[in-house]
Chain A
Amino acid sequence: MFDGYTTSELMSIFAMQGFAGLSLFSVFVLMALGLAIIFGQMGVINMAHGEFMILGAYTTYLTSGFFQSYLPSLFGGYFFIAMILAFLICAALGALIEWLMIRHLYHRPLDTLLATWGLSLIMQQAYRSIFGAREVGVDLPDWMMGAFQVTDLVELPINGLFVMIIALSIALGVYLLMYRSTWGKKVRAVVQNRPMAEAVGINSAGVDRMTFALGCGIAGIAGAAFTMIGSTGPSSGQAYIVDTFLVVVFGGAQSLIGTIVSAFGISQAQSTMEFFLSGSMAKVLTLLVVVGILMLRPEGLMALKVRR
């Protein structure tokens, strides 16, 4: 499949596709981080994760509209406000959902999956009724447009770079939160041994709610970042959910590093192959390889223990 390309062309193709893969990687990391927290730490499958992401995207869309009409002078910085708003709104909704629904189902993981699927249907239809079925996009501030010209053949769009920086800083933040803060210690304690954690005075129900809210909040940020590189429709979230679950499972459910590594591998494989094959075949091949590896090595890339 490499016939007819010179070496330098191939290098540029790999560099460009590699960068396109990096944008996909950023989206995967942002979505998968939220999922990895909820799924890896609590064992809960949140099928509505994509819809939380879209909620963040619509929040950004509304914020950008608000800034455009009322505060045009501050338009360059709206994205940061939108990101915070998206986090807060999604986290609040997440906490509410946890209280209403998820907490009754912790001992029935398969049922959580179905219930959150129901939730995702409702959220999707709500978006469709409120925002319409058409995809919406936001206007980028001036500083985010354009591209870096690295060589004659390679140029990197700034919005893509920006999203990548957000993804990596959030990954770093989550890492610090989980492994360097008291709260993270509590979360890990509850995961490892719930009765003992309770016995030493950790409010495990509170920790659960916060964990779920945090995961949803990160999905909100993912959605906000998503608007920088693509448009948002009511069912955009669903398009990503299977990929993201595979990313999390492939990385090894309880390992944040594994999640990032597998997000990188899957996104790079997909975008590199996309150039040479048709988009759908690239996706099929990537997913097949991932599923195949998971069948041979069910614990994922970096697992802490064999899963049951």
Chain B
Amino acid sequence: MKSSSPLKWFASREGLYYLALALLLVVILPLALDPFRLNMVGKYLTYAFVAIGLVMCWGKAGILSLGQGVFFGLGGYCMAMFLKLEASTPEATAIQSTPGIPDFMDWNQLTALPWFWEPFHSLSFTLIAIIAVPVILAFVIGFAMFTRRVGGVYFAIITQAIAAILTILIIGQQGYTGGVNGITDLKTLAGWDIRTDAAKTTLYFVCVGMLFLCLFAARFVQNRKLGRILVAMNAQENRVRFSGYDVAAFKIFVFCLAAAFAGIGGALFTLIVGFMSPSFIGIVASIEMVIFCALGGRLSILGAVYGALLVNAAKSGFSESFPELWPFAMGALFIGVVLAFPNGLAGLYQSYVMPLEERLFKRKPKTEAAAPAPQKPVEKKDEGRDYDPMLDQYSPEKS
């Protein structure tokens, strides 16, 4: 569905959905919420980056990664290391036995900065590392697994094990990583205090902007031939392979893409929340990220944003008033999403709200002569059917 001009695209149905999201995030929420709540929404949005990556990786290409928290965490830790070094000037840490190194290193009797911390003095290196580190790791994992045609549940288990390894490693190597507390007490970003309300609001808008960049990047991939091949690969991997495509290369690409999104999300998370700790990386956190994507609709990149917002908002809501009920709700959500509505909110929207819209849209052109407008949605709906992985993804020949 290429549109001739960007303006026309904004008037199309898909464009309207993006506009509605932009309206919600840029206008409605900032006006309705106080800075504290807005900051929390910003935190939820950083998870939406991961969820968008999962839509591309799991929903479209059928690769379920239970280790997205690893990439989220790597991005976040890169950012946190830079911020921590900036906060640990020799003047600010004069009471330590070795001034100029982060406080937790001093507590763990380290006397010099470890070599892998050194480059994080530079902001430009950090910004590159935020994307490069997760992508390189994803490439290594993806290359090792996909060229050997490992997929499905095996891939899920291995990625989960990697999440476990990284968490244990970070907790175990307290002196280098801050241990279970993580990297805390972050103050400024290149001299700009990130703890004030004004800074937090600015960071929220930066986050929204980055989110839309990622959304458009994902949409770009999805609407090109590349995206079709990913979906085809999910449905009939062997047919795609026999058609002459290098299936492994496409899988590695989409896995790296998801890792890059997660890394960006992680870095923004560190900025918005003000610290990074292993609890956002581990097995539980990683699998929760999958539910953000599943609730929103595993095939819908916009749905992923709503999924991340809703699950996290519900989580904070429950944790504030009935903390003991939240695991039940979360568990029920997992089971319900899988059993009752596998295509998530986007699927429900498509089957219940869209027909209503269709009727409204169809009435309009009778008064005006604009015919092309109503046709597009119909076309799009059929396409949505094609995407449905439930129909032919699990054909008997695969199992």
Residues of A within 8 A of B (CB): 39, 43, 45, 101, 104-105, 107-115, 117-122, 124-125, 128-129, 238, 242, 245-246, 249, 278-281, 283-284, 287-288, 290-291, 294-296, 298, 306-308
Residues of B within 8 A of A (CB): 58, 62, 64, 66, 141, 144-145, 148-154, 156-158, 160-162, 164-165, 168-169, 171-172, 283-284, 287, 290-291, 294, 324, 327-328, 330-335, 337-339, 342, 390, 394, 398-399
Which residues of B have CB within 8 Å of A121?
Answer: 327-328, 330-331, 334
A119 and B150 contact, Cβ closer than 8 Å, known pairs A124-B327, A242-B160: no
Query: With the chains together, A39 CA to B342 CA distance in Å?
Result: 22
The residue in chain B whose Cβ has the minimal distance to the Cβ of A291 is B161
Query: With the chains together, A113 CA to B152 CA distance in Å?
Result: 11
Residues A298 and B154 in contact, CB atoms below 8 Å apart: yes
What 3 A-B pairs have minimum CB-CB distances, sorted nearest first? A118-B334, A280-B172, A122-B331
A105 and B338 contact, Cβ closer than 8 Å, known pairs A125-B327, A287-B165, A307-B154: yes
Mostly helix, strand, loop or mixed at chain A's interface?
Answer: helix
Residues B157 and A125 in contact, CB atoms below 8 Å apart: no
> Closest Cβ of chain B: how far from A100's Cβ, in Å?
9
Residues A242 and B339 in contact, CB atoms below 8 Å apart: no
Query: With the chains together, A294 CA to B291 CA distance in Å?
Result: 27
> Closest Cβ of chain B: how far from A17's Cβ, in Å?
19
Residues A298 and B156 in contact, CB atoms below 8 Å apart: no
Residues B64 and A113 in contact, CB atoms below 8 Å apart: yes
A122 and B291 contact, Cβ closer than 8 Å, known pairs A115-B335, A284-B168, A290-B161: no
Residues B172 and A125 in contact, CB atoms below 8 Å apart: no
Query: With the chains together, A108 CA to B153 CA distance in Å?
Result: 10
Which residues of A have CB within 8 Å of B338?
Answer: 105, 108, 111-112, 114-115, 118
Residues A110 and B152 in contact, CB atoms below 8 Å apart: yes
A122 and B327 contact, Cβ closer than 8 Å, known pairs A45-B156, A113-B64, A298-B148: yes
Query: With the chains together, A113 CA to B157 CA distance in Å?
Result: 10
Query: With the chains together, A288 CA to B162 CA distance in Å?
Result: 8
Which residues of A have CB within 8 Å of B165?
Answer: 284, 287-288, 291
Residues B324 and A129 in contact, CB atoms below 8 Å apart: yes
Which residues of B have CB within 8 Å of A280?
Answer: 168-169, 171-172
> Closest Cβ of chain B: how far from A275's Cβ, in Å?
16
Query: With the chains together, A278 CA to B157 CA distance in Å?
Result: 25
> Closest Cβ of chain A: how far from B51's Cβ, in Å?
14
Which residues of B have CB within 8 Å of A296?
Answer: 144
Which residues of A have CB within 8 Å of B62?
Answer: 110
